[in-house]
């Protein structure tokens, strides 16, 4: 990473894992002056507690420490009488013929592993999850002996490793006792111990899943005794010990899993997991503990260290449970805000690795037999939210796990697509079955059923958007050609056949807006919801862009091009809102059971994560803002709060966005920072990932291919820095700011190409390469520059002249509307030398200027077409003496009187 190369010396922040102390060497004047944006090792961040997590479901959800390597999720309790380690493997899935209700079967708790110590009189207890290391620790004293444990889950070596130590030789004794939870009607199995290994194996009956876990004990000193019948290994009087854990099932990424209809046959020919799990364990055991640890650290830190963020917080002296309980409390609030941001990245690294199943509603952590909503992959927000930070928070490879899963289940979706075209638009059916793939609602590792009216087919475009982003943030053309383009093209194929010509547009029929009811519980479906139309539009558009990049041309592409303008994605309603439903006039009036404060805000997806609504469509941005205001802050749902951070950031209101982050941390985050969906507590991982993505949107945006650092900085984050966030076009951006103003920006061009960079007064700043050479750039006004970049080169912006925003006018009102003239007045801005007036007619994305240099706060607007225009948005903006316009303005909707 270039910033590290730039640095003369790293300002080291060292965590002493065993003492919980931080050593922060003072920076010398020279170092401070070197202009480095953040320390290379990343800010020291940890979750820590002064007692174990209670041994209960409540303790699991609220206090246990989550870890994972894609192959397994692990929750560590840190007990001293008995340690409990709960293991989740995402393919161990249960189902039942009758499966209704919210708590159905789903991912099943794989193993409960106990390590019995019998230490009942402990002191100086501490446990932590160290985010910088991706490791967790327990230490305490019992009878003058200091005991310590270290845990990590390794992706490269596919195991969990635990090292146990005692400060006195021969003082370590314990019994390892893995167990299979929820044995009963659908799960059978047994645990046996032999020599140094306990093996746990069995069958989950519904999908006939064979599972196996192996637990190997490697003591130093002392004695070891396996009790075969009890499935335990007792270690006595050892100096230290290592425990290695590997798990697996006979699940495989194979289209057959989704194409075989009989549940019990889906995995029929796949090999028993015994050989695989034995191999994982043997390979790991052949390495020293130190080598395994070094492998894990290298893998983990390469990902985690790409990004750091510093809001000026110092490590609080209170444990993390108190930190959460006392939030927001001023200074340590910043620490929790930094911690939660990196925790989302940590969770993604734990739960989404290439070759393993993607994270579901609970990520890769589940203690139950009946997890909420069957721990499914829900495609009307939850899955997409899991991947929201993958791209912008610089972890794009994490998407491989979804891409691998999709590649397999799409075979079934193609059959569904044919079925739906036959049903809904038979004239467009390709009888040979080339109808693309249709957007699914829910999926699990074994099944992806067809449509439900809960969400429209826009889920497909939303999935495609993730694939597009995967390319757009990496700009890897091989990836585009092989992985991304086929997904988008085939989705466009389905859409191109599904849409019907209605009222001069090409509309989805049937169509739903996720989770909304129109008229009572039975009526969800309608025609052409904004959700579907926007997602269709985005995918058609991106497919055409991708085709151009790859030089593809064919009849279907020509069709997509013709269809694009008719996909009609945005309607501005009479309240100035982005309509959710076509039949909507004023906000929320499309049906008697519409929830105007609904957690889903799917009509705004074109603004986030989509790109359709952006800074070059200011009238639509204003409509987004209006919609968000009308949606209010009343939903207490975790992921909805996370999503609103991003929505508000995209309309450049950092302070409002911040309130949602605060609400989330205050109202939803549990003591271990798991997101509590809506009380219960009910853990759902989506908001953990989504909050991280939302925070990035406050700090960096690029939806219109203009790299915009600090586009929505909350006032409370007046000073800070970040390093290594990613933008479209694959620019890695770092920023440093003070009193709300950027003092330094650094952009690493990872693949070359034109860099458009926006920040107030940037055209008047000093722009150099990292090695101090002058950079040629062209300016677009004062706030945007273009630089033709060289791959691998870093560009540094400094000496940015301070920017003072222009206060906006307020309360624009129509005092009199006389058909051919409209009398307007507004509350003036103290900064205004004059005002400019704009209008956006109907659904127009941009404003046109209708008057400038207006002296007072009153204006009579006369225009010949006023009597014909059904609806328009009028907007007034203040202009300062130096010619700068206010960023915000006041708007009013004019309807035909």
Query: Which helix (H) or strand (E) covers residue 62, if one does?
Result: helix 57-63
Binding mask 279-318 for ligand FUC (x = CB under 6 A): ----------------------------------------
Query: Which helix (H) or strand (E) covers residue 198, if one does?
Result: strand 197-204
Sign of the torsion formed by the C-alpha atoms of 46, 49, 50 and 52: negative
In the complex, the smallest distance separating the C-beta of residue 378 from ligand FUC, rounded to whole angstroms, is 5
Least Cα distance to 484 among 428, 539, 439 occurs for: 539
Which CB sits closer to ligand FUC, 513 or 543? Answer: 513
Q: Please answer whether residues 622 and 582 qualify as being in contact, where contact means their C-beta atoms are separated by less than 8 angstroms.
A: no
- CA-to-CA distance for 84 and 101, rounded, in angstroms? 30
In the complex, the smallest distance separating the C-beta of residue 517 from ligand FUC, rounded to whole angstroms, is 12
Which CB sits closer to ligand FUC, 690 or 709? Answer: 690
DSSP secondary structure letters along 614-649: STT-HHHHHHHHHHHHHH-S----HHHHHHHHHHHH
Least Cα distance to 737 among 699, 767, 794 occurs for: 699
Which CB sits closer to ligand FUC, 375 or 435? Answer: 375
In the complex, the smallest distance separating the C-beta of residue 138 from ligand FUC, rounded to whole angstroms, is 33
Which CB sits closer to ligand FUC, 149 or 644? Answer: 644
Which CB sits closer to ligand FUC, 266 or 600? Answer: 600
Which CB sits closer to ligand FUC, 382 or 727? Answer: 382
Binding mask 66-85 for ligand FUC (x = CB under 6 A): --------------------
The first and second tokens of residue 774, run together, are: 């002058």
Which CB sits closer to ligand FUC, 110 or 377? Answer: 377
In the complex, the smallest distance separating the C-beta of residue 64 from ligand FUC, rounded to whole angstroms, is 21
Which CB sits closer to ligand FUC, 637 or 877? Answer: 637
In the complex, the smallest distance separating the C-beta of residue 626 from ligand FUC, rounded to whole angstroms, is 23
Which CB sits closer to ligand FUC, 239 or 515? Answer: 515
Neighbours of 434 (CB within 10 A): 14
Among 238, 247, 488, 637, binds ligand FUC (CB under 6 A): 637
Binding mask 46-65 for ligand FUC (x = CB under 6 A): --------------------
Which CB sits closer to ligand FUC, 381 or 539? Answer: 381
Instruction: Give the CA distances from residue 614 to residues 473, 763, 861, in Å, rounded to whole numbers and listed in that order.
Output: 17, 22, 28
Least Cα distance to 132 among 25, 41, 38, 36 occurs for: 41
In the complex, the smallest distance separating the C-beta of residue 547 from ligand FUC, rounded to whole angstroms, is 33
Among 161, 378, 499, 806, binds ligand FUC (CB under 6 A): 378
In the complex, the smallest distance separating the C-beta of residue 277 from ligand FUC, rounded to whole angstroms, is 31
The residue count for binding ligand FUC (CB under 6 A) is 10
Which CB sits closer to ligand FUC, 652 or 677? Answer: 677
Q: Please answer whether residues 91 and 404 qualify as being in contact, where contact means their C-beta atoms are separated by less than 8 angstroms.
A: no
In the complex, the smallest distance separating the C-beta of residue 459 from ligand FUC, rounded to whole angstroms, is 12
Which CB sits closer to ligand FUC, 304 or 442? Answer: 442
DSSP secondary structure letters along 449-464: ----TTS-THHHHHHH
Q: Please answer whether residues 485 and 503 qualify as being in contact, where contact means their C-beta atoms are separated by less than 8 angstroms.
A: no
The HSE-up count of residue 733 (CA atoms within 13 Å, CB side) is 33
Q: Please answer whether residues 199 and 247 qualify as being in contact, where contact means their C-beta atoms are separated by less than 8 angstroms.
A: no
Which CB sits closer to ligand FUC, 85 or 361? Answer: 361
Q: For tokens 């491989």, what's the residue?
A: 400
Which CB sits closer to ligand FUC, 191 or 685? Answer: 685
Q: Please answer whether residues 381 and 514 qualify as being in contact, where contact means their C-beta atoms are separated by less than 8 angstroms.
A: yes
Which CB sits closer to ligand FUC, 28 or 452? Answer: 452
- CA-to-CA distance for 455 and 515, rounded, in angstroms? 6
Q: Please answer whether residues 702 and 753 qualify as being in contact, where contact means their C-beta atoms are separated by less than 8 angstroms.
A: no
In the complex, the smallest distance separating the C-beta of residue 364 from ligand FUC, rounded to whole angstroms, is 16
Which CB sits closer to ligand FUC, 639 or 731? Answer: 639
Binding mask 460-499 for ligand FUC (x = CB under 6 A): ----------------------------------------
In the complex, the smallest distance separating the C-beta of residue 495 from ligand FUC, rounded to whole angstroms, is 23
Least Cα distance to 570 among 537, 593, 522 occurs for: 537
In the complex, the smallest distance separating the C-beta of residue 639 from ligand FUC, rounded to whole angstroms, is 6
Binding mask 665-694 for ligand FUC (x = CB under 6 A): -------------------x----------
Instruction: Give the CA distances from residue 164 to residues 502, 554, 596, in Å, rounded to whole numbers and listed in that order.
Output: 68, 63, 55
- CA-to-CA distance for 293 and 133, rounded, in angstroms? 10
Q: Please answer whether residues 757 and 731 qualify as being in contact, where contact means their C-beta atoms are separated by less than 8 angstroms.
A: no
Q: Is 531 in the site for ligand FUC (CB under 6 A)?
A: no
The first and second tokens of residue 723, run together, are: 């390093």
Instruction: Give the CA distances from residue 732 to residues 385, 729, 749, in Å, rounded to whole numbers and listed in that order.
Output: 22, 9, 7
Q: Please answer whether residues 436 and 491 qualify as being in contact, where contact means their C-beta atoms are separated by less than 8 angstroms.
A: yes
| Cα-only R_g, the chain | 29
Q: How big is the CA angle at 841 (ends 838 and 845), to the nearest 5 degrees? A: 85
- CA-to-CA distance for 75 and 672, rounded, in angstroms? 10
Alpha helices in 516-569 (DSSP H): 530-550, 555-563
In the complex, the smallest distance separating the C-beta of residue 62 from ligand FUC, rounded to whole angstroms, is 19
Binding mask 497-526 for ligand FUC (x = CB under 6 A): ------------------x-----------
In the complex, the smallest distance separating the C-beta of residue 444 from ligand FUC, rounded to whole angstroms, is 13
How many whole angstroms from its chain centre is CA 634? 22
In the complex, the smallest distance separating the C-beta of residue 612 from ligand FUC, rounded to whole angstroms, is 23
The first and second tokens of residue 655, run together, are: 């302070």
In the complex, the smallest distance separating the C-beta of residue 602 from ligand FUC, rounded to whole angstroms, is 10
User: Which residue number has the CB closest to ligand FUC?
Assistant: 373
In the complex, the smallest distance separating the C-beta of residue 365 from ligand FUC, rounded to whole angstroms, is 15
Among 147, 373, 457, 647, binds ligand FUC (CB under 6 A): 373
- CA-to-CA distance for 342 and 660, rounded, in angstroms? 17
Q: Please answer whether residues 79 and 52 qualify as being in contact, where contact means their C-beta atoms are separated by less than 8 angstroms.
A: yes
In the complex, the smallest distance separating the C-beta of residue 56 from ligand FUC, rounded to whole angstroms, is 24
Among 177, 599, 728, 875, binds ligand FUC (CB under 6 A): 599
Which CB sits closer to ligand FUC, 165 or 599? Answer: 599
Q: HEC states along 123-180?
A: EEEEEEEECCCCEEEEEEEECCEEEEEEEEEECCCCEEEEEEEECCCCCEEEEEEEEC
Among 17, 361, 495, 872, binds ligand FUC (CB under 6 A): 361
Q: Which residues bind ligand FUC (CB under 6 A)?
A: 361, 373, 378, 382, 515, 599-600, 637, 639, 684
């Amino acid at each position: 990473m270039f910033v590290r190369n730039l640095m003369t010396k790293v300002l080291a922040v060292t965590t002493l894992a065993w003492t919980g102390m931080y050593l922060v060497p003072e920076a010398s004047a020279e170092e401070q002056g070197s202009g480095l944006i953040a320390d290379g090792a990343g800010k020291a961040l940890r979750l820590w507690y002064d007692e174990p997590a209670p041994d209960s479901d409540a303790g699991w959800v609220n206090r246990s420490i989550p870890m994972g390597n894609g192959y397994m999720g692990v929750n560590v309790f840190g007990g001293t009488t008995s340690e409990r380690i709960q293991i989740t493997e995402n393919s161990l899935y249960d189902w039942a013929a009758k499966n209704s209700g919210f708590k159905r079967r789903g991912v099943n708790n794989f193993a409960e592993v106990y390590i019995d110590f019998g230490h009942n009189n402990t002191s100086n207890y501490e446990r932590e999850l160290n985010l910088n290391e991706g490791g967790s620790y327990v230490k305490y004293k019992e009878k003058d002996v200091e005991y310590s444990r270290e845990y990590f889950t390794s992706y490269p070596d596919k195991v969990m490793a635990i090292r146990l130590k005692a400060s006195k030789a021969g003082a370590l004794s314990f019994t390892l006792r893995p167990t299979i939870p929820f044995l009963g009607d659908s799960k059978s199995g047994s645990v046996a111990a032999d020599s140094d290994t306990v093996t746990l194996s069995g069958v989950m009956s519904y999908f006939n899943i064979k599972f196996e876990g192996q637990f190997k004990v490697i003591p130093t000193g002392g004695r070891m005794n396996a009790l075969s019948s009890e499935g335990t290994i007792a270690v006595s009087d050892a100096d230290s010990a290592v425990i290695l854990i590997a798990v697996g099932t006979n699940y495989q990424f194979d289209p057959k899993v989704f194409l075989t209809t009989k549940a019990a046959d889906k995995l029929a020919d796949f090999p028993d997991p015994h050989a695989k799990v034995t191999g994982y364990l043997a390979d790991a055991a052949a390495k020293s503990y130190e080598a395994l640890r070094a492998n894990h650290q290298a893998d983990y830190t390469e990902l985690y260290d790409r990004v750091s963020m510093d809001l000026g917080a110092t490590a609080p002296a209170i444990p993390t449970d108190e930190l959460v309980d006392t939030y927001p409390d001023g200074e340590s609030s910043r620490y929790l805000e930094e911690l939660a941001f990196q925790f989302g990245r940590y969770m993604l690294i734990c739960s989404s690795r290439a070759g393993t199943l993607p994270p579901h509603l609970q990520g890769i952590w589940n203690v139950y037999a009946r997890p909420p909503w069957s721990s499914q992959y829900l495609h009307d927000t939850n899955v997409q939210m899991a991947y929201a930070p993958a791209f912008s928070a610089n972890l794009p490879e994490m998407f491989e796990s979804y891409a691998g899963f999709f590649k397999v289940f799409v075979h079934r979706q193609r059959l569904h697509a044919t079925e739906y075209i036959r049903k809904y638009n038979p004239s467009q059916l390709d009888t040979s079955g080339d109808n693309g793939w249709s957007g699914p609602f829910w999926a699990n590792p074994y099944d992806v059923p067809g449509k439900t009216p809960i969400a429209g087919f826009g889920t497909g475009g939303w999935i495609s958007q993730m694939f597009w982003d995967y390319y757009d943030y990496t700009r890897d053309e091989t990836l585009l050609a092989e992985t991304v383009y086929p997904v988008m093209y085939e989705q466009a194929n389905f859409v191109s056949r599904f849409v019907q010509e209605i009222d001069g547009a090409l509309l989805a029929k049937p169509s739903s807006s996720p989770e909304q009811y129109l008229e009572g519980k039975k009526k969800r479906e309608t025609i052409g919801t904004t959700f579907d139309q926007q997602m269709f539009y985005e995918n058609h558009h991106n497919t055409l862009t991708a085709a151009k990049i790859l030089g593809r041309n064919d009849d279907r592409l020509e069709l997509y091009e013709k269809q694009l303008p008719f996909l009609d994605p945005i309607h501005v309603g009479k309240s100035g809102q982005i309509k959710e439903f076509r039949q909507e006039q004023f906000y929320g009036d499309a049906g008697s059971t519409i929830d105007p404060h609904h957690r889903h805000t799917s009509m705004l997806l074109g603004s986030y994560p989509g790109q359709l609504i952006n800074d070059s469509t200011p009238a639509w941005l204003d409509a987004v803002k209006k919609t968000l205001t009308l949606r209010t802050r009343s939903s207490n749902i975790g992921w909805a709060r996370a999503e609103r951070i991003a929505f508000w950031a995209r309309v450049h209101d950092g302070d409002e966005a911040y309130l949602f982050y605060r609400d989330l941390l205050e109202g939803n985050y549990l003591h271990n920072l798991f997101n509590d969906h809506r009380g219960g507590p009910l853990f759902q991982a989506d908001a953990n990932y989504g909050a991280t993505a939302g925070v990035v949107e406050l700090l960096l945006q690029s939806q219109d291919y203009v790299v915009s650092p600090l586009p929505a900085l909350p006032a409370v984050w007046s000073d800070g820095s970040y390093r290594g966030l990613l933008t479209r076009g694959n620019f890695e951006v770092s920023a440093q700011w003070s009193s709300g103003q950027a003092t330094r920006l650094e952009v690493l061009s990872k693949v070359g190409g034109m860099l458009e960079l926006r920040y107030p007064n940037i055209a008047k700043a000093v722009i150099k390469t990292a090695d101090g050479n002058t950079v040629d750039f062209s300016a677009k006004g004062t706030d945007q520059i273009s630089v033709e970049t060289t791959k691998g080169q870093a560009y540094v912006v400094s000496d940015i002249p301070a920017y003072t925003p222009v206060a906006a006018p307020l309360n624009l009102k129509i005092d009199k509307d006389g058909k051919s003239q409209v009398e307007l007045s507004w509350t003036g801005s103290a900064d205004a030398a004059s005002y400019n007036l704009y209008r956006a007619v109907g659904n127009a994305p941009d404003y046109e200027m209708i008057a400038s240099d207006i002296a007072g706060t009153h204006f009579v607007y006369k225009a010949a077409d006023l009597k014909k225009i059904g609806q328009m948005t009028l907007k007034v903006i203040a202009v300062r003496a130096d010619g700068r316009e206010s960023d915000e303005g006041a708007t009013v909707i004019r309807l035909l009187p």
